[in-house]
Structures are given as structure tokens and as C-alpha cells.
Amino acid sequence: MRTHYYLGWFNDIFPEKLAKLLHEDITDRKSLVMISANPFLHEDEEVGATERSWLDQANIMFDEYHLIDYGVQKEDAQKLIQNASVIFLLGGNTIEQNGILIEYELSDLIKKSRAVVMGTSAGAINMSAKWLCSKYTGNKGEISSICHGIGLDNFSVLSHFDLENNIEKIQCELSSLSEEINIYASNKDCAVRVKGDKIDILGNVYLISHSKIQKLNETL
């Protein structure tokens, strides 16, 4: 059964509920493969350290740990994905992560994988079908555009969603996309979990659909 976690950012540790679910879902712990969202910084030991610490503190350990960035050859990166127990798309630069997914041809391999797939912040955005690249959604540049993600599920994800300060502008920016697919908008300490055909919510998550915004009830 496919299992995908679209995570916000966690300033501390995984909430107890989330940690318990991950323990239940991640039964194969041979290989954790992380995909950098700062792939040009392949000599920076801090890349992925925070995300890995969340798993460590939840007592979810793996036999092998791998990080895919531009310091890894394309063919080697593809093999890592094919052999992964868990694939974790890290937070950072959404556009740069999207670039390595395309250049290394990883998206189809991730979609075919039986691994549990997780993404936080930029990683969660890139797991989705489409996403809005806009200065109002945390990306640089004056021109807004729609980018394609991996497409694990047919919806869009917006992380770091500042409802109080940018609601009108963001609602306007996302209006067209929300007519096409649902958008799950979240900020910190939250998760959208897809297991099979069931979508569960943890923390403050909003649904933007057909230009309307509503706060979703927690189901986890």
C-alpha cells in the first residue's frame, strides 16, 4: 500500500502521534535515501542533518543513509532510489530540488518505488502534482508560474502558508490552480498523510479548492 507523508517544518521534534504512525508505516529500515533541496552544496555536512535528527529522536534508525545531490552520479542516484526503504525529500530550495529531480530522472522511479516517501517543506511541495512558484509562496522572482512535481498524488501542496498576513494575495495567486486540483496549505508542525486512498491530517492544515479556503479537522 502506498504511503506518502507531506510534512511541514518542525522546529523541535516529531509530535508523538506522527512518530507513532511512522513507526507503524516504516517497517523496512534498510536504507534511507534523502534528496537534497540544496543539491549544489554537496560538501555541506549540515544538509539533511535536521531532518535526520527528527527520525533519530523518534527512534527510527536505518542500516544505511544516503544523500542525493550533484556530488552523486546520476546512475548511482537512480540505483539508490530503486533500493530505498524510505525516500525523504528534504527542505530547502524548491526550485533547485525540482531541477535535480528532472535532470537525474528520479520522478518516475520514485512513483514506481514501494518505499515510504516523505517530504518536508520544499520536499513536500515537490512531491505534489503541481505547485505555484511565486514570491508570495516563498520563491524568488517577480513572475508567478506553475511547476510540475513528482505527482505522487493528484493535489498541490503549499508549505509555510501564512494565512493571516497573505491570505488575499495567496488566494488570488492560487485561484486558478485551485479550480483544477485541491491545494493543501500548511505551515509548521503538521502533516498530510496519504495511505492507500485515505488522506489524514495532523496539525493546522487548510484546503484551498475552487478558490475557497477552509481549515481541515485533524484526523490523526
Q: Please list the rounded mean pLDDT of every run of 10 residues in the chain (220 residues).
A: 93 92 96 96 79 95 96 97 98 94 98 96 95 71 81 91 66 85 90 95 92 90
The CATH topology of domain 3-215 is Rossmann fold (3.40.50)
CB 150 within 8 A of CB 101: yes
- Cα radius of gyration rounded to whole Å, the chain: 16
Q: DSSP string of 10-72? A: -SS---HHHHHHHHHH----SEEEEEEESTT-TT-TTTTHHHHHHHHHTT---SEEEEESTTS
Q: How far is CA 56 from the centre of its chain?
A: 19
Q: What nine digits make up the cell of 184?
A: 493543501
The predicted structure's pLDDT at residue 160: 73
The predicted structure's pLDDT at residue 46: 81
- The H or E element that residue 206 is part of is strand 205-209
CA distance 12 to 82: 31
CA distance 67 to 52: 11
CA distance 51 to 34: 9
49 contact partners, CB below 8 Å, separation of at least 6: none
The predicted structure's pLDDT at residue 38: 93
